[in-house]
Each structure stands twice: as C-alpha cells, then as structure tokens.
Amino acid sequence: MTAMQLKESPLTVANATARHTVAAGEPFVLEIKHGQTLRMVDLEGNQAIDALFFNRHDTAEHYSAPDTMLRQGGIYLTTGSVLVSSEGRPMLSIVADTCGRHDTLGGACSCESNTVRYALQKKHMHSCRDNFLTALQQADIGITKRDLFPNINFFMNVPVTPAGGLKFEDGVSAPGKYVEMRAEMDLWMLVSNCPQLNNPCNGYNPTPVEFVLWN
C-alpha cells in the first residue's frame, strides 16, 4: 500500500495560464507542456476522473500502471508519486494533493464491464471507454482505439480486499479537493469525467470537474 501524503499547493488560480471546466460525464483532451503544472479539482466531491497520458511526440509511449506501481512500491497514487511511462521514464510527478489517494487498478468502465458487473440492460449506458473514443475522434491527434491502456482514476476509492479482489467504494474526496502534477515531458492527456451511475465512485451522481494549468 501507499500511505496518504496530503500537501497543499503554493500556486494561486489568479496566476494560472488556463482553466477548463468539464461537465459531468463528459470527455476532454488537453495538451500539457514539459514543466507545466496541472491541477485537477473535484468541484462538488466524490467524482472520479479517468485519465490517460501519452508522450506528445511519440504516442506509443504512454502511462504504465505496472511500472508506476513497481517503481513506487505501492498501489495508490499520492503526493510524491511519479507516473512512469511504458518506456520507464517519468511522465508526471504529483507535487500536491489534498485528497490523498488515487486509484490505478480499477480501470475504466465500458459497456462490456457494465454488463458483467451489473446487468444486461446496463450495456447501453454511457461509459468512460466511450468517452475516450469520442474524445479521440474529436481531437484527431493520431491516437486510436488500439492505443488505449489501463488508466488512472483520480479521486476514486478502490480498496483491495485481503483475498486480492477490488471493491468500488464511496470516494475519499470532498468539494474543492485537488491533485496537482508537474509534467516531466510534453504530453497529451485524455480524460473521461466518469459518467458511472452503477457504483458509488461518483455518489451515483456525476458532477463537473476543473482543470487548471500553470506555466
């Protein structure tokens, strides 16, 4: 396990380069430059943000959950965690975190997982995988369906049971909680502001989130 490491940021929103609010359940693509700092804000609390990261100059290099967990010796992300790429290189460093714990095991919901986990009639429901594909089609940045991989679930609470299983529980976040990361390379960030209605990761009520960027 990785212990929670809470840390406030010294940055002020008034000095930010850009701010984006993403509506409940919607996709988003953001370009992040090397050295920039990104803050993700859980505006109303208990909202999950599914995110994927790609090297902007070589999208075959992407975030790697196994390499990240192995490098830090723990399964949760928090202040001090370094997000590692499929090439073993640092992509982002978490420099501040007022939530304290983020999941990189639970993956993204899809029509298939909604069917298996919940019920056949849930298959038609909107999912993070649908969001990822919609965002890629709209952005046209050379990343396709076959390039998708296991993601990070910021603010999401997925405890591991003694038997090694995963549980989806109420979030540990609250209104205004945030996580802040410094980019260690030029990146594309692909986001699904999770639309899940079948488990408590969003309190069964998806809400907006904010992205704030500093140079």
**pLDDT means over runs of 10, the chain (215 residues):** 84 97 96 98 95 97 97 94 98 97 85 60 70 92 92 89 78 93 98 84 90 98
Contact yes or no for 109/196 (Cβ under 8 A)? yes
Q: Provide CB contacts within 8 A for 215, sequence distance 6+.
A: 17, 33, 35, 36
Contact yes or no for 135/30 (Cβ under 8 A)? no
Query: What's residue 198's pLDDT?
Result: 72
Query: What's residue 195's pLDDT?
Result: 87
Give the Cα separation of 126 and 26 in Å (integer): 10
Give the Cα separation of 155 and 193 in Å (integer): 11
Tell me, what amino acid is at 32?
A: I
Query: What's residue 72's pLDDT?
Result: 92
Query: What's residue 114's pLDDT?
Result: 59
Query: What's residue 116's pLDDT?
Result: 57
Query: What's residue 6's pLDDT?
Result: 94
